Amino acid sequence: MEIPFCHFGYHTKIQVRKMFRQLILNIKLRKKWYHRALYDTAFKLRGVRLPFPCVFGALFFNLHNLWLIFWRRTKQFLFYDPMFRYRCSSVGKSLYIEVNFPLILGYGSIFVGDNVKIGGNATFIVSYKTNPNPTISIGNDVYIGYASVLSCADSISIGNRVLIAEGCSIYDNNNHPIDPEARAKNEPVGQKDIAPVVIEDDAWIGAHSIILKGVTVGRGSVVATGSVVTKDVPAMTVAAGNPAKVVKKL
């Protein structure tokens, strides 16, 4: 009976793996003189370093950075920028998407101004089956940090020169109904569970903060790291805590 080539190849791989594992085990146990020689040589090589480590380190470090810049710019130019512009209702000049393409869920509208930078693993959710056209509006010179989430069932408006640090979440809705039976049926949130969010010009949202529905963050205000904002933040103030309260005037 002829043995199929793929079957023979599979068993050959298994045998090679077994032989390699046995060789490694023998070297570790130093069973014979050549096993001991290989073990001692490998142990000595652990301490060997390239000559002129600063020169080689600088060369490889800068080559690595140049490669990253080239690859990111290539992805931005060929893939991310045209895909994002296709998906959005309007996008201004000088868009920059860091690391990878954001996750966009739903069919609502997204308006983006000039000089906007979007961090890696950002998420835009613009559909909760409650309103026909949920809308996210982002002004000029805005930064949206790594792993930030904008969840919109009606309206999230972000002004100019706003900084949103990494891991922030902005919700204009409760995400799920409060009624457990409605949640079990996977029903969308009701209109009473939705209220627009407004972040005015020059505001700064600290890392891992949460902005909940119906909140307005005033012009020039700062939301401290890790805050949970449930009520309006007046202009030119610092809010901190859970729930966030004004702790300082600017």
Domain range holding 238? 90-249
* 188, 131 Cβ separation under 8 angstroms: no
- Nearest CA to 200 among 170, 176, 220? 220
Residues 144 and 234 placed together within one structural domain of the fold: yes
Residues 100 and 181 placed together within one structural domain of the fold: yes
Question: Does residue 95 sit within a domain?
Answer: yes
State the pLDDT confidence band at 182, using cuts at 50, 70 and 90.
Answer: confident
Q: What is the number of domains present in the chain?
A: 2
Question: Does residue 81 sit within a domain?
Answer: no
pLDDT of residue 142: 98
Residues 41 and 100 placed together within one structural domain of the fold: no
Counting every residue written for the chain, the total comes to 250
Has residue 4 got a pLDDT over 70? Answer: no
Residues 96 and 33 placed together within one structural domain of the fold: no
Question: Does residue 243 sit within a domain?
Answer: yes
Question: Does residue 67 sit within a domain?
Answer: no
**Integer Rg of the chain from CA:** 28
**∠ CA(97), CA(102), CA(105), 5° rounding?**
150
pLDDT of residue 128: 67
CATH number of the structural domain spanning residue 237: 2.160.10.10
Q: How far apart are CA 219 and CA 195, in angstroms?
A: 19
Q: How far apart are CA 98 and CA 96, in angstroms?
A: 6
State the pLDDT confidence band at 3, using cuts at 50, 70 and 90.
Answer: very low
Residues 200 and 109 placed together within one structural domain of the fold: yes
pLDDT of residue 144: 97
Question: Does residue 71 sit within a domain?
Answer: no
Residues 219 and 100 placed together within one structural domain of the fold: yes
User: Is pLDDT larger for residue 47 or for residue 245?
Assistant: 245
Residues 35 and 138 placed together within one structural domain of the fold: no
Average pLDDT, the chain: 90
Has residue 205 got a pLDDT over 80? Answer: yes
Q: What is the pLDDT of residues 124-151, one digit of tens each?
A: 999 867 788 999 999 999 999 999 999 9
Residues 105 and 41 placed together within one structural domain of the fold: no
Catalytic sites, residue numbers: 176
pLDDT of residue 137: 98
Residues 32 and 102 placed together within one structural domain of the fold: no
Question: Does residue 165 sit within a domain?
Answer: yes
Q: How far apart are CA 48 and CA 39, in angstroms?
A: 15
User: Is pLDDT larger for residue 132 or for residue 9?
Assistant: 132
Supply φ then ψ for residue 97, to 5 degrees: -110, 115
Has residue 5 got a pLDDT over 50? Answer: no
Residues 128 and 29 placed together within one structural domain of the fold: no
Report percent pLDDT > 70 for the chain.
96
State the pLDDT confidence band at 102, using cuts at 50, 70 and 90.
Answer: very high
User: Is pLDDT larger for residue 13 or for residue 205?
Assistant: 205
Question: Does residue 63 sit within a domain?
Answer: no
Question: Does residue 57 sit within a domain?
Answer: no
